[in-house]
A = this chain, B = another copy of it.
Amino acid sequence: MAISNIRYGEGVTKEIGMDLQNLGARRICLMTDKNLSKLPPVNAVLNSLAKYGINFQIYDNVRVEPTDQSFLDAIQFAKKGEFDAYVAVGGGSVIDTCKAANLYAASPSSEFLDYVNAPIGKGKPVTVPLKPLIAVPTTSGTGSETTGVAIFDFKELKVKTGIASRAIKPTLGIIDPLHTLSMPERIVANSGFDVLCHALESYTALPYNKRSPCPSNPINRPAYQGSNPISDVWALHALRIVAKYLKRAIRNPEDREARANMHLASAFAGIGFGNAGVHLCHGMSYPISGLVKTYKPKDYNVDHSLVPHGLSVVLTSPAVFAFTAQIHPERHLEAAEILGADIRTARIKDAGLILADTLRKFLFDLNVDDGLAAIGYSKADIPALVKGTLPQERVTKLSPRPQTEEDLSALFEASMKLY
């Protein structure tokens, strides 16, 4: 497994101008979203670019929860600009958009579907050389600064999908906890739930040596390899941080220790799931986001309805882990214990229920919407949600327990109401 370059520390963003000089870059594309363009993280980057006399153009048209259309708009900008390096300042939406822009600008003769994950796209391997991309995350969630993944909402098909290739992994991730201080409560919470699910799913994913078929040539193996002793270290460590700090980070924007730790946990979990993969919470989340009706989450400064990614993954987590625990009950129990469950008298066969209860209590304490029903779905939507999950085979096949359409249906139904 390969792990990205990261630099950690309060204020390390001020070095970015020097990094770009060291890369010999002369025409920089700085990507962000409209909301962030007025906030301190973008400011810190601009100051450093000015100090080192770096020539740049800003693209701040990134859509929160990007779509094929919004990716294409950014790609268009990148193609025109003929940039020799990219800087992405934002959450997963910005970093993912920037990865796609870098990829397609470097491969001008490719069709958009060429690199999109099969079976929706063609899933072609990337063979063109990309420009350096420095990612400066401002949420503590996706870990996109460490992964070779870019996710978007395919509007036509009403389903989220993405591009997955080691080639689009950022050259450097700058983990500067100062950027987390401007996050409002619900953005801390939802992006934190993403970290929680990355850690839980990669820790419980199908083990790397049980995956089949496993291409005999290492070069053909997917980025998502299944859980393994190395990704386990990252997943467990991230989970411990989430257990200790997520509540504090949400409740108190001044709690720098908690926010800094969550910012690191996001990268740690990213390294873990970027090598091991995620499974059902993520696979099922894509239609939950893609089919959104009118839900407008608190604290998101955007003009369209959306289900934030972290919320879309965590709402099914109690049902999912109750379902998967059959396979590695001891890992499920261990996760429950890390999240605060008293397991001294627990029976191993109850591992799934115990983890599910622990998660429900955790979400209740954090004022999370009461299940899929609370964000606008009803029983009548289940067939469409299941249909949207089926093409997510790239991740769902990493579930330790195989699932039928009936199983998926039951998981969505069990996630309608949590408390």
Which residues of A line the B interface, CB within 8 A? Answer: 1-3, 5-9, 15, 18-19, 22, 208-209, 216-219, 228-230, 233-234, 237, 264, 268
**Which residues of chain B are within 8 angstroms of A268 by Cβ–Cβ distance?**
230, 233
Interface CB pairs A-B, < 8 A, 11: A1-B6, A3-B3, A6-B230, A7-B218, A15-B216, A15-B217, A18-B216, A18-B218, A22-B217, A233-B233, A237-B237
Known: A22-B219, A218-B19, A219-B22. A1 touches B9 (CB 8 A): no
**Which residues of chain B are within 8 angstroms of A2 by Cβ–Cβ distance?**
3, 5
Number of identical protomers: 2
Contact B8 A228 (CB under 8 A): yes
A319 to chain B, nearest CB (A): 31
A94 to chain B, nearest CB (A): 22
A408 to chain B, nearest CB (A): 31
Contact A217 B264 (CB under 8 A): no
- Cα A181 to Cα B229 in complex, Å, equals 19
A196 to chain B, nearest CB (A): 18
A372 to chain B, nearest CB (A): 35
A341 to chain B, nearest CB (A): 22
A interface SS class: helix
- Given A7-B218, A230-B264, 16 further pairs, Cβ under 8 A: A1-B7, A2-B5, A3-B3, A6-B230, A8-B228, A9-B208, A9-B209, A15-B216, A15-B217, A18-B217, A18-B218, A18-B219, A19-B218, A22-B217, A229-B264, A233-B237
- Cα A388 to Cα B5 in complex, Å, equals 35
Contact A230 B18 (CB under 8 A): no
A305 to chain B, nearest CB (A): 37
- Cα A216 to Cα B51 in complex, Å, equals 14
**Which residues of chain B are within 8 angstroms of A209 by Cβ–Cβ distance?**
9
Known: A22-B218, A217-B22. A229 touches B15 (CB 8 A): no
Contact B229 A8 (CB under 8 A): yes
**Which residues of chain B are within 8 angstroms of A22 by Cβ–Cβ distance?**
217-219
A235 to chain B, nearest CB (A): 11
Residue of B nearest to A232 (CB): B237
Residue of B nearest to A16 (CB): B218
- Cα A247 to Cα B273 in complex, Å, equals 32
Q: Pick the 5 closest A-B CB pairs, nearest first.
A: A3-B3, A22-B219, A2-B5, A233-B237, A18-B217
* A1, A7, A8, A233 — most chain B CB neighbours (10 Å): A233
- Cα A19 to Cα B7 in complex, Å, equals 30
A378 to chain B, nearest CB (A): 43
- Cα A210 to Cα B133 in complex, Å, equals 29
**Which residues of chain B are within 8 angstroms of A230 by Cβ–Cβ distance?**
6, 8, 264, 268
**Which residues of chain B are within 8 angstroms of A219 by Cβ–Cβ distance?**
18, 22
A16 to chain B, nearest CB (A): 10
- Cα A227 to Cα B348 in complex, Å, equals 38
**Which residues of chain B are within 8 angstroms of A264 by Cβ–Cβ distance?**
229-230
Contact B208 A15 (CB under 8 A): no
**Which residues of chain B are within 8 angstroms of A216 by Cβ–Cβ distance?**
15, 18
- Cα A6 to Cα B229 in complex, Å, equals 12
Known: A233-B233, A233-B237, A237-B233. A218 touches B15 (CB 8 A): yes
* A3, A9, A217 — most chain B CB neighbours (10 Å): A3
- Cα A230 to Cα B229 in complex, Å, equals 17
**Which residues of chain B are within 8 angstroms of A19 by Cβ–Cβ distance?**
218
- Cα A15 to Cα B6 in complex, Å, equals 29
- Cα A234 to Cα B236 in complex, Å, equals 12
- Cα A185 to Cα B6 in complex, Å, equals 38
**Which residues of chain B are within 8 angstroms of A3 by Cβ–Cβ distance?**
2-3
- Cα A70 to Cα B50 in complex, Å, equals 51
A310 to chain B, nearest CB (A): 22
Residue of B nearest to A22 (CB): B219
- Cα A229 to Cα B15 in complex, Å, equals 19
